[in-house]
Amino acid sequence: MMMLSSIPTRPLALALEALCLSLLLLTTPASAATVTFSVPPSPQIPNPAALPPSTHATLTALGAAYAAPLTADNAFVFRNVTPGSYLADVHCATHGFAPLRVDVVSVTEAGRKKKRTDGGEDDEGVSLRVWETFRGNDWENKGEEIRPDVVGGAFPVKVLGSKIYYTERSSFNVLSILKNPMILMGLVSLALFVGMPKLVENMDPEMRAEFEEQSKKNPMNSLMSGPQSGGGPMGNFDMAGFLAGQGSGSGGGKEQSATTNSGNGGKKGGKR
């Protein structure tokens, strides 16, 4: 009797399990969405079909990740994307693309009625919104909203530019030498050294005499030419002795000490 009473419960459990699986399958597509991105032609990429075959896009979130390759229509199609906030990245070996923020929001009945009044209801019961995002900033710092070309179409991705892995070696150029500040200073000094004597020769006699007189009064000329007899106070200035720490009275002090020593020696000799 106990065996006969337990037989009908097994088909009932199997039926309940099949019903749960069918309900799960029916509810999963209703809460998932299809996200599509396209690569439009641009000055950086005139022909998107020329992108490498390894180009792909990813949708990443905390605990979820999706990947989609580049299709023949120059698009990335993500299917069965669950509600959440995702970061969209396009990975390409030759070009860089701007990251995007994708929000997949499940639309409730009240939201559907509101969307129906606005004329933009989603058939799958989800709402898709895409913005530009910036790396290193707060996630809530959203940029310009990206809208599809047509209602329910693909969202375009922005190309930042091409990637350059190698820098071309610069060739030798004579003009690049002239850009060196040391070379320019040397050329200016050479021009002054060669041109000043010719300018002095072509001066008027009165102007030339005045120029020579001012040059003699310049203290820098006496320093450059060294000590001269009969010159001004700067002519007898010993630059080497000054830098060595020897004053003007050092010589006299030495002579005086020498005479005192000799005198002491003579006195001692006399005592002997």
Tens digit of each residue's pLDDT (9 = 90 or more) over 33-64: 899 999 999 988 999 989 999 999 999 998 88
Tell me the mean pLDDT in the region 59-70.
Answer: 92
The alpha helices in the chain, defined as continuous H runs, are 2-6, 9-30, 109-118, 174-178, 181-201, 205-217, 219-225, 239-244, 250-271
SS3 114: helix
pLDDT at 68 over 90: yes
Q: Tokens at residue 83, please?
A: 């509600």
**Residues 255-258: contacts with CB under 8 Å, at least 24 apart:** none
Residue 118 has a pLDDT of: 40
pLDDT at 269 over 50: no
β-bridge pairing 64-69 and 75-81: unpaired
pLDDT at 157 over 90: yes
pLDDT at 29 over 60: no
Q: How far apart are the first and last CA of the chain?
A: 155
User: What residues does 88 pair with on adjacent strands?
Assistant: 59, 100
pLDDT at 24 over 60: no
CA–CA distance, 149 with 38 (Å, rounded to integer): 10
The lowest-confidence range among 19-33, 175-189, 241-255 is 19-33
Tell me the mean pLDDT in the region 86-90.
Answer: 95
β-bridge pairing 159-162 and 95-97: antiparallel
Task: Identify which of 231, 57, 120, 80 has the alpha carbon closest to the alpha carbon of residue 223.
Answer: 231
Report the amino acid identity of residue 19: L
**Residue 237 burial (C-beta neighbours within 10 Å; 0-12, 13-18, 19+):** middle
Q: Tokens at residue 136, please?
A: 């290193």
CA 228 to chain centre: 61
Tens digit of each residue's pLDDT (9 = 90 or more) over 118-150: 433 454 578 889 999 988 888 888 888 998 877
Does this model's pTM top 0.85? My answer is no
SS3 88: strand
Residue 32 has a pLDDT of: 77
CA–CA distance, 227 with 93 (Å, rounded to integer): 74
